[in-house]
């Protein structure tokens, strides 16, 4: 089966979240086990013009998936039209690794057309601003990297001033998605991923974002309203397999990937997303685990099989769901992070 993550090939049948959801707990999927919620709770209680211009030799070989300069300019134009989502924000573009062997340090970019060769400076954080050049646009130039484009993941990077470095603003992410789709930044693009309104405005959009570090949990805060994203909003929906992962922009960034509720306008543009890292200590929202459940062997013996997502780092995320007491409610969700040694690092119980 082809992947359903942002940048995947093939037709997307439905959202990775399942049916349209409410952040307050309507995500559910994977295997459901008929363990009582009481068991879980007891477990947790323990502690010039082109016509006249001279010919220019372009040394780079144009890759079939080099980024279209015209498309990227269209993304920049869209940024201006939808600037109200992030009125004070600036737009940059960002390069991320797609393969384990990708080396971003020292990478160079240039806009290459029939007669135009325009260097594009790349900052130390591998971001860049794309200059406007009418000759390059007229020649349908390409943005060419000194690495094969198929080894890179490309994203728009929209940042409003005043947002803490360890948080993201939802309006910025909404604008990032619109620009990214319009600019054709998704790898393995398909017709589905060429409509900004469809990708960024519906639950089926599947546009992946990437945190700075491997993510254990993502929390939304909008005034007094607060909620934790469900498991199915992390790790490209938790559905990737070795066979599908090469088609996903998250190929080497799976543990940093997440979906944001871009389409849910009940969350304002000023909503802030906070990130709990995998390698950070347990936080106040996390739950202690009884000594009899601290290893993968013990957890499997006591609670049975879980939905498991494994990462190249050796870490694993396990997920159990528990049926809601009433049909109108969503199931509770218990997630555990295990280290490479098979020992639990932290856990969280998410209730509707």
Helix spans in the chain (H):
37-44, 69-81, 134-138, 170-182, 196-201, 296-303
Q: What is the pLDDT of residue 325?
A: 73
What does the pLDDT read at residue 106?
Answer: 95
DSSP string spanning 28-72?
--S------HHHHHHHHT----TTTSPP----SPPPTTPEEHHHH
Residue 328, pLDDT score? 66
Section 235-239 average pLDDT: 94
Better pLDDT: 219 or 2 = 219
Tell me the pLDDT tens digit for each residue of 209-227: 999 999 999 999 999 999 9
- Give the dihedral of Cα atoms 196, 202, 203, 205; nearest 10 deg: -20
Written as one string, the DSSP assignment of 303-318 is H---EEEE-TTS-EEE
Number of H helices, E strands in the chain: 6, 17
- pLDDT the model gives residue 149: 77
pLDDT score at 324: 74
- 69-73, 109-113, 244-248, 256-260: range with lowest mean pLDDT: 244-248
**Residues 6+ positions from 262 with CB-CB distance below 8 Å:** 170, 173, 174, 177, 200, 201, 205, 207
Mean pLDDT, residues 338-348: 97
Of the candidates 145, 120, 144, the one whose C-alpha atom is nearest the C-alpha of residue 131 is: 120
| The predicted structure's pLDDT at residue 296 | 97
Place 193 in a pLDDT band, splitting at 50, 70 and 90. Answer: low
Mean pLDDT rounded to a whole number for the chain: 84
Residue 247 has what pLDDT?
87
Q: In this structure, what token pair is assigned to residue 223?
A: 């005034």
Q: State whether the Cα torsion 245-250-254-259 is positive or negative.
A: negative
Those residues whose C-beta lies under 8 Å from the C-beta of residue 241, and which sit 6 or more positions away, are: none
Confidence of residue 23 (pLDDT cuts 50, 70, 90): low
Mean per-residue pLDDT, 175-183? 96
Q: Cα–Cα distance between 33 and 9 in angstroms, integer?
A: 32
Range with the poorest average pLDDT among 38-52, 62-76, 272-286? 38-52
Alpha-carbon distance of 133 to 142, in angstroms, equals 12
Of the chain, the percentage scoring pLDDT greater than 70 comes to 79
DSSP letter for 108, please.
-
Is residue 39's pLDDT more than 50? no
**Cβ–Cβ < 8 Å for 334, 347:** yes
Task: Say what the pLDDT of residue 41 is.
Answer: 40
Residues linked to residue 272 through DSSP beta bridges, in sequence order:
169, 221
Residue 190: its pLDDT value, please? 56
Q: Shortest CA distance to 127 belongs to which of 158, 169, 151, 149?
A: 158
Helices 170-182 and 69-81, interaxial angle, to 10°?
A: 150
pLDDT above 80 (res 26): no
Q: What is the pLDDT of residue 15?
A: 40
pLDDT tens per residue, range 136-148 = 999 999 999 999 8
Report the predicted TM-score, pTM, of the whole model to 2 decimal places: 0.82
């Amino acid at each position: 089966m082809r992947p359903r993550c942002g940048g995947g090939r093939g037709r997307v049948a439905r959202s990775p979240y399942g049916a349209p959801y409410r952040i307050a707990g309507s995500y559910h999927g994977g295997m459901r086990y008929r363990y009582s919620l009481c068991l879980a709770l007891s477990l947790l209680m323990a502690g010039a013009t082109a016509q006249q211009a001279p010919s220019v030799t372009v040394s780079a070989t144009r890759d079939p998936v080099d980024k279209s300069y015209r498309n990227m300019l269209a993304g920049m134009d869209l940024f201006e039209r939808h600037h109200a989502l992030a009125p004070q924000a600036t737009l940059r573009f960002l390069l991320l690794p797609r393969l384990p062997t990708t080396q971003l340090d020292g990478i160079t970019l240039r806009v290459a057309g029939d007669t135009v060769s325009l260097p594009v400076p790349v900052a130390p954080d591998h971001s860049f601003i794309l200059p406007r050049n009418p000759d390059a646009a007229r020649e349908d130039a390409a943005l060419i990297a000194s690495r094969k484009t198929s080894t890179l993941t490309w994203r728009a990077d929209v940042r409003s001033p005043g947002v803490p470095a360890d948080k993201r603003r939802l309006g910025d992410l909404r604008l990032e998605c619109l620009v990214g789709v319009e600019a054709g930044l998704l790898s393995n693009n398909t017709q589905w991923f060429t409509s900004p309104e469809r990708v960024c405005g519906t639950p089926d959009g599947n546009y992946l974002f990437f945190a700075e570090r491997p993510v254990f949990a993502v929390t939304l805060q909008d005034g007094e309203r607060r909620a934790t994203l469900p498991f199915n909003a992390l790790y490209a929906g938790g559905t990737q397999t070795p066979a599908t992962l090469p088609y996903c922009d998250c190929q080497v960034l799976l543990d940093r990937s997440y979906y944001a509720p871009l389409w849910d306008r009940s969350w304002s543009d000023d909503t802030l997303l906070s990130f709990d890292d995998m390698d950070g200590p347990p936080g106040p929202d996390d739950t202690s685990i009884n000594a009899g459940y601290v290893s993968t062997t013990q957890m499997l013996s006591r609670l049975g099989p879980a939905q498991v997502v494994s990462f190249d780092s050796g870490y694993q995320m396990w997920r159990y769901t528990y049926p809601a007491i009433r049909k109108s409610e969503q199931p509770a969700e218990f997630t555990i992070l295990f280290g490479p040694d098979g020992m639990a690092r932290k856990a969280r119980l998410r209730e509707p």
